[in-house]
Amino acid sequence: MQPFGVYLHIPFCAKRCDYCAFATWTDRGHLQTEYMRALRADIVAADLPPVSSVFVGGGTPTLVDPAQLADVLSAIPTTADAEVTVECNPDDVTADMLRTYRAAGVNRVSIGVQSMVGHVLASLGRTHVPANVEQAVAAVREAGIPTFNVDLIYGAAGESLADWRATLEGAIALKPTHISAYALTIEAGTPLAEQPQRHPDDDDLADKYELADELLAAAGLANYEVSNWAQPGHECKHNMLYWQQGNYRGFGGAAHSHSDGRRWWNVRTPERYIAAVTAGETTEAAGETLSEGTRRTEGLQLAIRMRDGVPAEALSMDAMAAEGLEDLVESDGVRVRLTQRGRLLANEVSLRLR
């Protein structure tokens, strides 16, 4: 049976981070009950096949009533070994919340830590304090949730290499089964985009990536995608589905779906999503069908970012050497994979795939 994923988008936030360009709102809390009811109705109407992975993202899923989220999850027909992930804000997490999640089948949480250093959190516009992260992790363990990810961001204004080391060491001390570490990116339309003095420096980002790879590998977390490290067997099934061009359905405002080369996305605002579901109308805003060539190219661009790389014939090693880029990749004659330096310049390699 082919893997099939479901993504649930929760668009509510207490505060919008300066770097965030996602479809989230800080003034729509009064719509939560209606929105969760619409999510459930939309899922039931979709008549889904057995689902191998579920990812609840946002926004801030932990802002909604855990019982309402559990009710929505109960409408999804999951396989016996399905991975079910909920993104969690450490400020919101309680033992009761996670026990409710666990009873609803949640077996993985992703904690939005970003940094373990106070002034860096402030620079990112985050409101939690590092102590809340430790309490959230304790609650995860108490609830018996077997897998948890720590989400980190590096490159904020004012973050030194020593600050980043402190974040990495603090995250490792929590003994997570998975760590995601993303370079701060500038998204158009965000407050961060309008303040060039706060934009990250490429050389600084490279130094921080190399430090992350060194420390995480030493802690037993292997890199399996450019920005993701995991203990063996704890790689994120849902994200792997995306990276391998699998099929999935997105529910909620602005959620994306993919089916055999056709992808589409929902209406953006929670009000429009609720109205469409309530009226029995399509929630789709627009979509596109990829040509075979485009799908193949995108597949290679995604695959090169992963540990297994791409078939050797997809990249000319002679051409890479001629351009002085041979240190970005390594080949065993069967597969070509990124080196650590290549992971820093994955987009450059992607442009040369054939």
pLDDT (tens digit per residue) in 28-71: 999 999 999 999 999 999 999 999 999 999 999 999 999 999 99
The pLDDT of residue 72: 98
- Decide: helix, strand or coil at residue 87: strand
Residue 284: strand pairing partners: 266
What one-character DSSP code corresponds to residue 250?
A: E
Q: Which fold has domain 4-242?
A: TIM Barrel (3.20.20)
Residue 136: alpha-carbon gap to chain centroid: 19
| CB proximity list for 123: less than 8 A, separation 6 or greater | 156, 157, 158, 159, 198
Domain ranges of the chain: 4-242, 295-350
Angle between helices 95-103 and 66-73 (to 10 degrees): 10
| CB proximity list for 288: less than 8 A, separation 6 or greater | 262, 263, 264
What one-character DSSP code corresponds to residue 86?
A: E
What one-character DSSP code corresponds to residue 166?
A: H
Q: How far apart are CA 338 and CA 353, in angstroms?
A: 12
Q: Which pair of structure tokens corresponds to residue 185?
A: 């990116």
The pLDDT of residue 195: 81
pLDDT by residue (tens digit) across 105-156? Answer: 999 999 999 999 999 999 988 877 888 999 999 999 999 999 999 999 999 9
Q: Which residue has the tokens 């995480």?
A: 216
Parallel, antiparallel or unpaired: strands 4-10 and 51-58: parallel
Q: From first to last of the 354 residues of the chain, give the pLDDT tens digit.
A: 899 999 999 999 998 887 887 899 999 999 999 999 999 999 999 999 999 999 999 999 999 999 999 999 999 999 999 999 999 999 999 999 999 999 999 999 999 999 999 999 999 888 778 889 999 999 999 999 999 999 999 999 999 999 999 999 999 999 999 999 999 998 888 887 778 878 899 999 999 999 999 999 999 999 999 999 999 999 999 999 999 999 999 999 999 999 999 999 999 999 999 999 999 999 999 999 999 999 999 999 999 999 999 999 999 999 999 999 999 999 999 999 999 999 999 999 999 999
Q: Which pair of structure tokens corresponds to residue 11?
A: 């668009």
Residue 288: strand pairing partners: 263
The pLDDT of residue 269: 98
The pLDDT of residue 163: 98
